[in-house]
């Protein structure tokens, strides 16, 4: 009898222990499932928030860029789409106004983009010319006895006299060239306005300046831009030939260079 009671007690204990373990396991699984759901919800919310931040940042960027070109956000989005299409392949690196003007759907749109671009170009040129005048005045004040070379202090000339002025002469010269020196002296003596382009200066201002002093170019004529000194390698590659013997003279007429000899 005593044995039966003991056996029943043991079975009851085992049953209660197993039930408790099952309950703990079930609670853990439920807690783990809830945690996974919460984490997934947080991740989804964070992703949506990040996407929203990126979208807002892109819209703000578009708005700022559009305003710089007097365009709306919608027009800027259209410009971005144009860059990804055939026009972007045919004509890469187009400015927004030109791209939109080329792809305009109506004459009214095309005209508006053209007028906006003209206004911006005029304003840009006026600012560049104003700075060029300030630069020239500062150079003359700080270095009155030094011959200025066109485009000094910049990576490229802000405004080329040879393209802005008509009926002037462009003379291509090089170092150690007696005929070049004689040609320049003759033109200076005649009071002719002309632009000197040295084809072997290697973009070194001192090389042109030293040559001009050697030839006897009058500083006051250079300061008045009756005579200008220019690096000529790039332009010479466009208009010259390997067989040409310097000096070569061109007449600037209506934006074109007409060879004189």
Is residue 242 a part of any domain in this protein? yes
Is residue 183 assigned to a domain? yes
Lowest mean pLDDT among 24-33, 42-51, 163-172, 190-199: 24-33
Domain containing 230 — which CATH number? Answer: 3.40.30.10
pLDDT in tens, 33-90: 545 656 566 666 666 666 666 666 777 788 889 899 999 999 999 999 999 999 999 9
Is the model's pLDDT at 208 over the cut of 70? yes
Is 65 inside any structural domain?
no
Domain count, the chain: 1
User: Whole-number mean pLDDT of the chain?
Assistant: 79
Long-range contacts of 20-25 (CB under 8 A, 24+ apart): none
When pLDDT is averaged across residues 242-250 and rounded to a whole number, the result is 87
Rounded to whole angstroms, the Cα distance separating 133 from 125 reads 12
Place of tokens 């072997």: 200
Q: Which residue range forms the structural domain that includes residue 231?
A: 161-259
Distances (CA, A) of 189 to 28, 104, 260: 103, 55, 19
pLDDT computed for residue 39 by the predictor: 55
The residue that leads in pLDDT, 261 or 186, is 186
CB atoms within 10 A of CB 51: 10
φ, ψ for residue 173, nearest 5 deg: -135, 170
pTM of the model: 0.49
Which residues, in sequence order, are CB contacts of 101 under 8 Å at separation 6+? Answer: 109, 110, 113, 114, 117
Q: Quick check: 92 pLDDT over 80?
A: yes
Residue 191: C-alpha distances to residues 168, 212, 217, 226 (Å): 12, 16, 12, 9
Q: Is residue 201 part of a domain?
A: yes
233 belongs to a structural domain: yes
What percentage of the chain has pLDDT greater than the value 90?
41
| Domain assignment of residue 110, yes or no | no
């Amino acid at each position: 009898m005593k044995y039966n009671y003991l056996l029943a007690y043991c079975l009851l204990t085992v049953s209660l222990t197993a039930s408790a373990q099952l309950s703990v396991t079930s609670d853990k699984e439920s807690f783990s499932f809830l945690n996974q759901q919460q984490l997934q919800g947080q991740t989804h919310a964070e992703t949506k928030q990040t996407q929203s931040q990126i979208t807002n940042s892109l819209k703000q960027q578009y708005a700022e860029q559009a305003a710089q070109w007097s365009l709306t956000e919608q027009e800027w989005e259209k410009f971005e789409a144009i860059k990804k299409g055939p026009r972007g392949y045919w004509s890469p690196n187009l400015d927004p106004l030109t791209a939109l003007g080329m792809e305009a759907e109506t004459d009214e749109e095309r005209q508006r983009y053209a007028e906006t671009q003209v206004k911006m170009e005029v304003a840009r040129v006026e600012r560049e010319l104003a700075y060029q005048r300030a630069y020239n005045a500062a150079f003359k004040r700080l270095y009155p006895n030094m011959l200025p070379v066109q485009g000094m202090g910049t990576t490229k000339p802000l405004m080329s006299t040879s393209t802005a002025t008509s009926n002037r002469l462009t003379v291509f010269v090089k170092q150690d060239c007696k005929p070049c020196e004689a040609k320049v002296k003759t033109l200076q003596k005649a009071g002719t306005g002309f632009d000197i382009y040295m084809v072997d200066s290697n973009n070194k201002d001192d090389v042109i300046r030293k040559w001009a002093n050697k030839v006897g170019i009058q500083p006051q004529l250079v300061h008045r831009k009756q005579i200008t000194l220019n690096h000529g390698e790039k332009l010479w590659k466009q208009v010259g030939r390997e067989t040409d013997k310097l000096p070569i003279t061109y007449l600037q007429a209506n934006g074109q260079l007409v060879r004189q000899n």
